[in-house]
């Protein structure tokens, strides 16, 4: 269980960082489907077409989750209450609905 407790740490960190990433624009990169190109810099929309940040947000969250899960001491990981694993995602769902409400107003 001790080693496996890192799984819960990964989930916690990656879900939170994903939401922070789309909220604050922390994408690791942007993907330009019209050019089929990944770019670390923002390209002009006129030539590059629409930018997709989704893959970049996912990558940011994945890296953050893996790094924290790898370095967190086993003792701390094992102490993570099980409730955190479901309370945090529910809060993130609520945040997402509030964040995206502008589409419906």
Partner 1 sequence: MFTTLLIIHGLLAVALLGGITHQTYSAFRKPAPAKNFIERYGAVNGAAYTNAMIVLYIAAAILGDIVYAPYRLEIRTALEDLNLPKANGIFEIKEHFIAIGLFMLPAYWLYWKKPLAEGSATARKIITATLAFFIWYGFLVGHILNNIKGFGQ
Which residue in the set 14, 28, 30, 68 belongs to the binding site for partner 1 (CB under 8 A)?
A: 14
Task: Tally helices (H) and strands (E) across the chain.
Answer: 5, 2
Residue 79 CB, nearest approach to partner 1 (Å): 13
Check residue 76 and give left, alpha or beta (phi > 0: left; psi -120 to 50: alpha): alpha
Contact 93, 34 (CB under 8 A): no
Residues 6+ away with beta carbon under 8 Å from 45: 51
Residue 104 CB, nearest approach to partner 1 (Å): 6
Q: Is 78 in the site for partner 1 (CB under 8 A)?
A: no
Q: Is 104 in the site for partner 1 (CB under 8 A)?
A: yes
Tell me how far apart the terminal alpha carbons of the chain are, to the nearest angstrom: 46
Which residue in the set 61, 67, 68, 94 belongs to the binding site for partner 1 (CB under 8 A)?
A: 61
Q: Is 96 in the site for partner 1 (CB under 8 A)?
A: yes
Q: What are the structure tokens assigned to 100, written together?
A: 């995206």
Which residues contribute to the site for partner 1 (CB under 8 A)?
Answer: 1, 4-5, 7-8, 10-12, 14-15, 18-19, 22, 31, 33-34, 49-50, 52, 54-55, 57-58, 61-62, 65, 82-83, 85-86, 89-90, 92-93, 96-97, 100, 102-104
């Amino acid at each position: 269980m001790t080693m496996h407790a890192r799984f819960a740490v990964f989930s916690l960190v990656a879900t939170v960082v994903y939401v922070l990433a789309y909220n604050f624009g922390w994408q690791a990169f942007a993907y330009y489907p019209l050019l089929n190109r990944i770019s670390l810099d923002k390209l002009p929309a006129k030539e590059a077409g629409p930018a997709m940040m989704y893959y970049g947000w996912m990558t940011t969250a994945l890296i953050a989750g893996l790094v924290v899960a790898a370095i967190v001491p086993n003792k701390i990981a094992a102490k993570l209450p099980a409730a955190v694993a479901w309370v945090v995602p529910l809060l993130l769902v609520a945040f997402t609905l509030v964040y995206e409400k502008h589409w419906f107003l």
